[in-house]
């Protein structure tokens, strides 16, 4: 025993230290238990509130107090109007007309199928009155109707949305679209992303399994953290063709654009492929003409695509010709600047409003794939004409668009660093 006390005296501090550690661990364990129990309880409670059981109890209580008030939840069906819906609840025509005429006057009557209408009525001596009505008219706006004696107060309720910045990235397995959907990116953001990269990447040919993408963009969420709409793309990056291309959203002198690390705008003066989803079927060069049968220089590039596939203007320009022209069939000649013209042949029809002397924007639909003129099947014959000479569009080093210089470049560098820092933070939180 004395030995033991001696031992304690010698190792007193060590002993206290272990006691302290022991209490600390016990404390941490208990705290953790309490926390997880509270979380579980809250979760259970929420599940309970949403459960059928709770609904039954609630209905039972309301049934039994014989309240003159009744609450209805209705899911809007196709072709429903507010008037039609209210008629389902035995409300008098005068009451309905009184309300709906006011709502129509305020242009707040457009309900859409699938949305929820909440209605509260009061029944007195067989006369049913609308007490309140609540329904959404778009993703962020709802209409609230409250009875005020013999009249109604109608007000618009606009959901307060919170801006949130998110980063999504993924490896491409099949195609960009499905891989982006898989990582939770909204479809409209994917389309915008594809447009931004449309000048850099040919989505039909360049993408290989294992290529990657990253998108940093804005979401607007409601208080339940549900995404109500999306905002702008701030940064977009792709690893494709064995190199990484990173593009930054930058606004300067009221013009927004996407620029790469060198401050070069992604928008080139001409697109390589003015058509989506096509297969290159015949390239520029000597070939045996499929109809004429003899060797002839093919002075353009053919893209096979189904009849009706939209054809885009490959750059901003003015239409010089839009008519039937020799073996080209329906043909468009577009002048971009003093150096470049592009031509499009065999179209089934021209785009809306497309005729001589009309200005078009890059990416605008100017016509549709067809097989008019000397052609064996639906395809686009595409020519790039440089200084009056037809050149191979696929080999062409296309001139790039704007490059940021001086003050613009300095501002861009500052903005780019800010985006990179924010991006690194968001990636960490992912």
The residue ranges that bind Zn ion (CB under 5 A) are 300, 302, 381
Nearest distance in Å: CB 284, Zn ion: 9
Minimum CB distance to Zn ion smaller for 268 or for 381: 381
CB of 375 to Zn ion, least distance (A): 8
- Nearer to Zn ion by Cβ, of 300 and 317: the residue is 300
Which residue, 147 or 381, has its beta carbon nearer to Zn ion?
A: 381
Least distance from Zn ion to the Cβ atom of residue 235, Å:
39
Q: In angstroms, what is the minimal distance from the CB of 343 to Zn ion?
A: 10
Burial class (CB in 10 A: 0-12, 13-18, 19+), 266: buried
In the complex with Zn ion, which residue's Cβ is closer, 300 or 378?
300
Q: How far is CA 361 from the centre of its chain?
A: 23
Gap between the Cα atoms of 338 and 134, Å rounded: 60
DSSP states of 207-253 as a string? Answer: --TT-EEEEEEEEEE-TT--EEEEEEEEEEEEEETTEEEEEEEEEET
Task: Tell me the closest approach of the beta carbon of residue 341 to Zn ion, in angstroms.
Answer: 16
Residue closer to Zn ion, measured from CB, 263 or 367: 367
Using an 8 Å Cβ cutoff, are 91 and 138 in contact? no
- Cα distance between the two ends of the chain: 59
Q: Give min distance, CB of 300 to Zn ion, in A.
A: 5
Question: Nearest distance from residue 345's CB to Zn ion, in Å?
Answer: 7
Cα gap 246→34, rounded to integer Å: 47
Give 300 or 315: the residue with its C-beta nearer to Zn ion.
300
DSSP conformation letters of 372-422: -SS-SSSEEEEEEEETTEEE-TTT--PPP--B--HHHHHHHHHHHHHHHHH
User: Nearest distance from residue 173's CB to Zn ion, in Å?
Assistant: 34
User: H or E stretch including 87?
Assistant: helix 82-87
Report residue 398 CA to chain centroid gap: 29
Which lies closer to Zn ion via its Cβ, residue 381 or residue 416?
381
> Which residue is at the shortest CB distance from Zn ion?
381
Nearest-approach distance from CB 192 to Zn ion, in angstroms: 32
The gap from C-alpha 31 to its chain's centroid, in whole angstroms, comes to: 43
Which CB atom, from 236 or from 385, has the smaller least distance to Zn ion? Answer: 385
Give the pair of three-digit tokens for residue 316.
Answer: 């901003």
CA distances from 295 to 95, 285, 288 (A): 82, 10, 4
Between 212 and 299, CB nearer to Zn ion = 299
Backbone φ and ψ for 168, nearest 5 degrees, come out as -125, 140
Residues ≥6 apart with Cβ < 8 Å to 227: 186, 219, 220, 221
Is 181 within 8 Å of 234 (Cβ atoms)? no
- Shortest CB 365 distance to Zn ion, Å: 20
Cβ neighbour number for residue 117 with a 10 Å cutoff? 19
Task: Please state, in angstroms and as integers, the Cα–Cα distance from residue 340 to each residue in 152, 270, 317, 400, following that order.
Answer: 65, 9, 10, 13
Nearer to Zn ion, 245 or 280 (CB): 280
Nearer to Zn ion, 211 or 302 (CB): 302
Instruction: In angstroms, give the least distance from the CB of 381 to Zn ion.
Output: 3
Task: Report d(CA 381, CA 326) in Å as an integer.
Answer: 13
Q: How many residues does the chain have?
A: 430
């Amino acid at each position: 025993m004395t030995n033991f006390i001696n031992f304690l005296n010698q190792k007193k501090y060590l002993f206290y230290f272990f006691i302290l550690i022991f209490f600390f661990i016990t404390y941490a364990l208990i705290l953790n238990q309490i926390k997880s129990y509270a979380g579980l309880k809250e979760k259970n409670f929420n599940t309970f509130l949403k459960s059928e059981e709770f609904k039954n109890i609630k209905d039972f209580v309301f049934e039994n107090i014989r309240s003159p008030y009744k609450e209805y939840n209705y899911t809007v069906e196709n072709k429903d109007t507010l008037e039609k819906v209210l008629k389902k609840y035995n409300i008098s025509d005068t009451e309905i007309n009184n309300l709906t005429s006011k709502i129509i006057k305020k242009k707040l009557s457009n309900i859409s199928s699938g949305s929820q209408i909440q209605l509260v009525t009061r029944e007195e001596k067989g006369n049913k009155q609308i007490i309140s009505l609540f329904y959404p008219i778009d993703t962020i706006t709802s209409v609230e109707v409250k009875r005020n004696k013999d009249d109604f107060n109608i007000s618009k309720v606009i959901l307060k949305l919170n801006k949130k910045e998110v980063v999504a990235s993924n490896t491409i397995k099949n195609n960009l679209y499905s891989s982006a959907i898989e990582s939770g990116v909204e479809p409209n953001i994917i389309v915008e992303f594809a447009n931004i990269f449309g000048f850099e990447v040919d989505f039909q040919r360049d993408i290989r399994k294992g290529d990657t993408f990253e998108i940093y963009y804005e979401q607007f969420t409601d208080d339940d953290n549900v995404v109500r709409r999306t905002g702008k793309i701030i940064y977009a990056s792709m690893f494709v063709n064995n190199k990484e291309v990173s593009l930054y959203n930058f606004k300067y002198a009221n013009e927004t654009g996407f620029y790469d690390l060198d401050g070069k705008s992604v928008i080139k003066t001409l697109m390589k492929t003015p058509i989506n989803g096509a297969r290159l079927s015949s390239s520029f060069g000597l070939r045996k003409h499929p109809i004429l049968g003899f060797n002839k220089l093919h002075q353009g590039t053919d893209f096979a695509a189904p009849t009706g596939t939209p054809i885009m203007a490959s750059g901003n320009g003015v239409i010089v010709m839009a008519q039937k022209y020799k073996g080209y069939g329906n043909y468009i000649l577009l002048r971009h600047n003093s150096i470049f013209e592009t031509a499009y042949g065999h179209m089934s029809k021209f785009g809306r409003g497309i005729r001589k002397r009309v200005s078009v924007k890059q990416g605008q639909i100017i016509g549709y794939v067809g097989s008019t003129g000397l052609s064996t099947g639906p395809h686009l014959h595409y020519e790039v004409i440089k200084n009056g000479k037809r050149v191979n569009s696929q080999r062409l080093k296309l001139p790039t668009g704007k490059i940021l210089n001086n003050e613009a470049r300095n501002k861009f560098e500052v903005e780019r660093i800010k985006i990179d820092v924010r991006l690194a933070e968001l990636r960490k939180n992912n």
